[in-house]
Amino acid sequence: MSSSVRKATVDDVETIYKFIYTLAEYTNMSDKCTITVETLRELMFEEKALRAVIAEEDGIPVGMATYYYFRIATFSGKKVLYIEDLYIDEAVRGKGYGTQIFDFLRTVAKDKNCSHMEWKCLNWNSPTISFYEKMGGKLSDGWLVYTLGEEYF
């Protein structure tokens, strides 16, 4: 068995779309998953847009992560790499693909001179919380995350 992680290409858009939808189902949010393959393609290949990586086992995609540089940390003047989605096929979880993706993204963040990486996790998702803690992730002490939905603008 060979495994690898690589940057996604335009040929991966449908695979990434399927992983995103499967993740939405897992998190009980499939009703909110309204993105289309065409929109995903546009988002991934415009300047300063969504990026993705693919994990493969013997050349077959088994997971992915989407990320982007979502803000500037003004105290340091550096970018922040934000992980939007991380998904590994259930059948291959525990084989190290999540760790490989995380290590790949750490390298990207270092190469892009980011101050840090950031992501969210649902509070009921204990396997994912354990994984993130194993990767060195820490809860942001004192910071609350607020959102403002599109119904307000």
Give CA–CA dist 58/145, Å, rounded. 39
Q: How high is the pLDDT of residue 122?
A: 92
Q: How high is the pLDDT of residue 145?
A: 81
Instruction: Please name the residues in contact with 112: beta carbons below 8 A apart, sequence gap of 6 or more.
Output: 69, 79, 81
Q: How high is the pLDDT of residue 1?
A: 82
Q: What is the pTM of this model?
A: 0.90
Contact between 116 and 83 under an 8 Å Cβ cutoff? The reply is: no
pLDDT string in tens for the chain (153-residue length): 899 999 999 899 999 999 999 999 999 999 999 999 999 999 998 877 899 999 999 999 999 999 998 788 899 999 999 999 999 999 999 999 999 999 999 999 999 999 999 999 999 999 999 999 999 999 988 888 888 888 889
Q: Which stretches of the chain are assigned E, i.e. beta strand?
A: 3-7, 51-57, 60-73, 78-88, 116-118
Q: How high is the pLDDT of residue 64?
A: 98
Which domains are present in the chain?
Answer: 3-152 (3.40.630.30)
Q: How high is the pLDDT of residue 42?
A: 93
Q: How high is the pLDDT of residue 57?
A: 97
Ramachandran assignment for 14, one of left (phi > 0), alpha (psi -120 to 50 degrees), beta (any other)? alpha
Contact between 92 and 62 under an 8 Å Cβ cutoff? The reply is: yes
Q: How high is the pLDDT of residue 146?
A: 86
Give CA–CA dist 30/34, Å, rounded. 8
Burial code (b: 16+ CB inside 10 Å, e: under 16) for 95-134 equals: bebbebbbebbeebbeeeebbebbbebeeeeeebeebbee
